[in-house]
Amino acid sequence: MKRFRFSFSSLRSKLLAMFVILTCVPLIVVGLISYQKSFDALSGNNKASTMLAADGLGRDIDVLFQDTGKLLELSKNPQVLRYLFSQTDTYDDAKSILETFDLYRETYKYESVLNISMVNLYGRGISERRGVFQLDKNPLRNPHFVYLVNHPDEVLNVPPIESLTLDRLDGFQYENQNVISIVAAVKQQITREVIGFIVIDLDDKIVKQFCDSITIGKTGFFYVADANGSPIFTPSQMNSEELGEPVLLAEKLAASRDSYVDHSTGKPAFIMFTTSAMTGWKIIGRVPLQEIVQDANEIRQLIIISVSLSILFTIASYFFITSRITRPVQLLMHKMRQASSGYLEAKVKAHGQDEIADLGNSFNRMIEKIKALLEQSIREKEQVQKAELRTLQAQINPHFLYNTLDSIVWMAEARKHEQVIHLVQALSRFFRISLNKGMDWVHMQEELEHVRSYLVIQQMRYQDILDYEIDVPQELMNVPILKMTLQPIVENALYHGIKNKRGKGLIRITGQSRPGGEIWLSVTDNGIGMTEDTLQKLRDKLIKPPAPELAGTTEPSGGFGLYNVHQRIRLYFGDYFGVGIESEYQAGTTISIRIPNQWGVQTDEKNNAG
Q: What's the pLDDT tens digit per position in 100-111?
A: 888 877 777 777
Q: What's the pLDDT tens digit per position in 190-247?
A: 888 888 898 888 887 777 777 777 777 777 888 888 877 778 777 776 665 556 555 5
Distance CA 268, CA 287 (A): 9
Instruction: Dump the DSSP string for 109-122.
Output: --SSEEEEEEEETT
Please tell me whether residues 480 and 435 are part of one structural domain. Answer: yes
Domain boundary among the residues 174, 203, 232 is at 203
Count of structural domains within the chain: 4
pLDDT of residue 590: 93
Q: What are phi and psi of 593, to 5 degrees?
A: -120, 125
Q: Confirm whether 307 is domain-assigned.
A: yes
Q: Confirm whether 577 is domain-assigned.
A: yes
Long-range contacts of residues 437-441, Cβ cutoff 8 Å, at least 24 apart: 439/483, 439/607, 439/610, 440/389, 440/390, 440/393, 440/482, 440/483, 440/606, 440/607, 440/610, 441/480, 441/481, 441/482, 441/483, 441/603, 441/606, 441/607, 441/610
Q: What's the CATH code of the domain at 111?
A: 3.30.450.20
C-beta separation of 408 from 423 below 8 A: yes
Q: What are phi and psi of 274, to 5 degrees?
A: -140, 170
**Do strands 480-482 and 441-443 pair parallel, antiparallel, or not at all (unpaired)?**
antiparallel
Put simply, whether the predicted model's pTM sits higher than 0.85 gets the answer: no
Please tell me whether residues 484 and 563 are part of one structural domain. Answer: yes
pLDDT of residue 137: 83
What average pLDDT does this structure show over 399-421?
Answer: 71
Q: Confirm whether 288 is domain-assigned.
A: no
Output the CA–CA distances (angstroms, integers) from residue 344 to 333, 357, 512, in the order listed: 14, 19, 42
Range of the domain at 418: 397-609
Q: What's the pLDDT tens digit per position in 273-290?
A: 888 888 888 888 888 877
Q: What's the pLDDT tens digit per position in 517-549?
A: 889 999 999 988 899 998 888 888 887 655 544
174 pLDDT more than 50: yes
Confidence of residue 605 (pLDDT cuts 50, 70, 90): very low
Portion of the chain with pLDDT greater than 70, in percent:
78
Q: Confirm whether 438 is domain-assigned.
A: yes
Q: Confirm whether 278 is domain-assigned.
A: no
115 pLDDT more than 50: yes
Domain boundary among the residues 148, 169, 203 is at 203
Please tell me whether residues 555 and 440 are part of one structural domain. Answer: yes
Q: What's the CATH code of the domain at 509?
A: 3.30.565.10
Confidence of residue 589 (pLDDT cuts 50, 70, 90): very high
pLDDT of residue 556: 41
Output the CA–CA distances (angstroms, integers) from residue 381 to 222, 333, 378, 608, 609, in the order listed: 74, 32, 5, 18, 15
Q: Confirm whether 304 is domain-assigned.
A: yes
559 pLDDT more than 70: no
Please tell me whether residues 467 and 564 are part of one structural domain. Answer: yes
CA-based radius of gyration for the chain? 46
Please tell me whether residues 529 and 409 are part of one structural domain. Answer: yes
C-beta separation of 167 from 174 below 8 A: yes
Instruction: Dump the DSSP string for 469-489.
Output: EEE--GGGTTSEEETTSSHHH
Distance CA 228, CA 275 (A): 12
Please tell me whether residues 53 and 26 are part of one structural domain. Answer: yes
Please tell me whether residues 364 and 416 are part of one structural domain. Answer: no
Confidence of residue 353 (pLDDT cuts 50, 70, 90): low
Domain boundary among the residues 355, 390, 425 is at 390
Please tell me whether residues 55 and 94 are part of one structural domain. Answer: no
pLDDT of residue 508: 93
Q: Confirm whether 444 is domain-assigned.
A: yes
C-beta separation of 537 from 560 below 8 A: no
454 pLDDT more than 60: yes
Q: Confirm whether 301 is domain-assigned.
A: yes
Please tell me whether residues 95 and 110 are part of one structural domain. Answer: yes
Most confident of 246-255, 337-346, 573-582: 573-582
Please tell me whether residues 310 and 372 are part of one structural domain. Answer: no
Helix, strand, coil percentages, rounded to 5, for the chain: 55, 20, 25
171 pLDDT more than 70: no
Please tell me whether residues 59 and 82 are part of one structural domain. Answer: no
What average pLDDT does this structure show over 481-505?
Answer: 85
Please tell me whether residues 89 and 43 are part of one structural domain. Answer: no
Q: What are phi and psi of 501, to 5 degrees?
A: -130, 140
